[in-house]
Amino acid sequence: MIEARVDYEERIMSDKKSFNIVPDIRLLVDIGQANYQVPEAISELIANSMDAKLVDKEITIDVEIAENRISLIDDGKGMSQNVLGEALRLAAQMDQFTGNTQNRKGMYGLGMKAACSSLGSHWNIVSKPQGDNYEYSIVLDLNEWLKKADRQGWEVVVTKALHDPKTSALGNREHGTAIIITKLRDSETFPTAVIEKLSMAYRPHLLAGDKIVVNQNLVSAKSYELIDNRTWDINLEVNGHKITGWYGLDIRTHNDGNYGINIYRQGQLVEAWNKDFLRQHLMSSRVVGEIELPFIAANFHKLGFNKSTEEWKIVKKVMTTELKQAVKASGDMAKNKQDPMRQAKAIKGLDIALGIAGATLSHQNAHPIPESHVVETGVEQPDATQESMILIQTMNQIVLDGDVYSLSYKFDVITDPTIPWDFLFESKSKDLLAVINTESRLYQTSTDQEFVGILALSEAVVGFLIRDLGYTYAKARELRDNWLFDALSSRVRAN
């Protein structure tokens, strides 16, 4: 029985065979079929440059796009001979070779190789570390690479040479890396498309002072056109991880899909115009914003996130809640299109719903009436038995039966240019805000904005007394006339 068992185990062992599973050298070519468009491939190379920034120093990255050549040169920390050689290894864990302990954009060790291969078949990579008199280079022609007899021969040669600014691809840079791609797959690349891609892909870096130049054009961070130029901060926590960013409301609705949240990881755009946190509908299409999401893994191409994790599900839940009031405000703006104040009302409602301190109608750009215009009105203060009357204590306050209402005005756009002004009243804070339409002929032909503000407030007082306090028009006009007389009298005395 024992002999039979031994014989069986020997036969099993004799059936085992080891295989070398080093991939075929063609893989270096095939990863270029990674569905990168040229702007995306260049963006991925820039991610490596950003990861190679010197500590506490901005980086400058020069990109040149020509008919038969694409180059990218940075002034980052550069690579030694050993590090450059390892950088060509597929799926290399570069932190083990560089000693880096910071979070990086690169995750899979494939980005540079896939990006270079998707751009063209001839690569020249030159790198010079800080403080090193030598530079190190690799020249790789994929067409020649495929002719190798050894299909598992993954060796590359890294050349060491004394750095000469006159002949080096790095020029007079003291450190950095240059990548020059020729024999391009696509020779019809428009620099404007690359600039547009990079302006959004690296917006956090550009705002922080890092520079990207494409064909001698400095790339500017993407700008947003927001109502009142207002943004609301996002500061959330998921399982001990931070979600930071902002959101706002676009000045127009979008049927082009360019709305939602742009999601960044380590300052690199991973998913543009994500709509998982809001309903995909024209009513919601004013909501825009950005978040930094460093703790969710991006997919292989960095064109989205791994959304099967529990953490992503929590992120979706908390972000949906966070944007709920903004989505409502966007929808409110799409309603009542005949109301020229609908945008201002929606913004006010959003502030109040969020419990923002000072979320009153006299918000951004509002002007209180100058204190120099304080006057005595000559109107007696009412007692409890008298009919309600208005007592003006100052030009920026109205007192009615003991209730104090503040007055202010602001200049803003109202969609209908025939409307010179309108008003908003917040009952909770007792703020009355007159909004002067900067598109109106009255505003554009006036040379005295303060006077226009007083006129607008006089109309706001009438509307407020009738609509909100129930006065008849005759009574409201009488009180308005008294108030306006005093307001103009103060200007005469001041002059």
377 and 289 in a common domain: no
Give the per-residue pLDDT at 373.
31
Helix-, strand-, coil-residue percentages of the chain, each rounded to 5? 35, 25, 40
Average pLDDT over residues 466-474: 85
Q: Kindly state whether residue 20 falls inside one of the protein's structural domains.
A: no
Letter for the amino acid at 51?
D
Among 170, 193, 218, which residue terminates a domain?
Answer: 218
The answer to the question of residue 3 being in a domain is: no
Beta pairing partners, 422: 435
Q: What is the pLDDT of residues 346-384, one digit of tens each?
A: 887 788 778 774 444 433 344 443 333 333 323 333 333
Both 314 and 383 in one domain: the answer is no
Whole-number Å distance between alpha carbons of 314 and 277: 11
In which residue are the tokens 């694409």 written?
70
Q: Do 276 and 301 sit in the same domain of this protein?
A: yes
Give the CA distances from residue 77 to residues 80, 97, 480, in Å, rounded to whole numbers and listed in that order.
10, 14, 70
What are the tens digits of pLDDT across the range 36-59? 889 999 999 999 999 999 988 999
Same domain membership, residue 71 and residue 199: yes
> Is residue 356 a part of any domain in this protein?
no
With beta carbons less than 8 A apart as the criterion, state whether 319 and 371 touch.
no
User: Whole-angstrom Cα distance, residue 242 to residue 261?
Assistant: 16
- Is residue 4 one of the residues assigned to a domain? no
Name the more confident of 493 and 415: 415
Question: What span, in angstroms and rounded, lies between the C-alpha atoms of 61 and 212?
Answer: 5
**Residue 247 DSSP one-character state:** E
Q: Which residue has the tokens 């709920």?
A: 324
Residue 139 lies in a domain: yes
Instruction: Count the Cβ atoms, other than its own, within 10 Å of residue 474.
Output: 8
pLDDT surpassing 70 at residue 135: yes
Claim to verify: residue 372 and residue 484 sit in the same structural domain? yes
Q: Whole-angstrom Cα distance, residue 188 to residue 117?
A: 17
More confident residue, 308 or 74: 74
Residue 302 shares a structural domain with residue 405: no
Q: Report helix, strand or coil for 104.
A: coil
Instruction: Enumerate residues 6+ apart whose C-beta is below 8 A from 480.
Output: 458, 459, 461, 462, 465
pLDDT tens digits, residue range 482-493? 777 766 665 544
Do the domain assignments include residue 373? Answer: yes
Same domain, yes or no: 180 and 232: no
CA 154 to chain centre: 41
Question: Are the CB atoms for 206 and 102 separated by under 8 Å?
Answer: no
Q: Which residue has the higher pLDDT, 280 or 364?
A: 280
The span from the CA of 477 to the CA of 474, in Å, is: 5
443, two tokens: 């505003």
Q: What is the DSSP letter of 376?
A: -
Q: What is the CATH number of the domain that holds 174?
A: 3.30.565.10
Say if 284 falls within a structural domain.
yes
Give domain status of residue 488, yes or no: yes
Phi–psi pair at 293, nearest 5 degrees: -125, 80
Same domain, residue pair 52 and 143: yes
* CA gap 393, 404 in Å, rounded: 9
Rounded distance, CA 222 to CA 232, Å? 18
The residue behind tokens 């309903």 is: 279
Full domain range(s) for residue 324: 227-330
pLDDT for residue 14: 62
Whether 428 and 478 map to the same domain: the answer is yes
209 with 65, same domain: the answer is yes
Closest Cα to residue 219, out of 211, 207, 229, 209? 211
- pLDDT, tens digit (0-9, with 9 covering 90-100), for 180-206: 999 999 888 899 999 999 999 999 999
CATH code, domain carrying 325 = 3.30.230.80
Domains of the chain: total: 3
Residues 379 and 468 in one domain: yes
Answer yes or no: are the C-beta atoms of 490 and 395 closer than 8 Å: yes
Specify whether 289 is located in the same domain as 392: no
3: confidence class by pLDDT, cuts 50, 70, 90 = low
Domain boundary among 189, 218, 247: 218
Question: How much is the pLDDT for 184?
Answer: 95
* End position of a domain, from candidates 193, 218, 243: 218
pLDDT band at 210 (very low <50, low <70, confident <90, very high): very high
Is 160 within 8 Å of 182 (Cβ atoms)? no
Report the chain's mean pLDDT, rounded to a whole number.
Answer: 81
pLDDT, residue 337, reads: 65
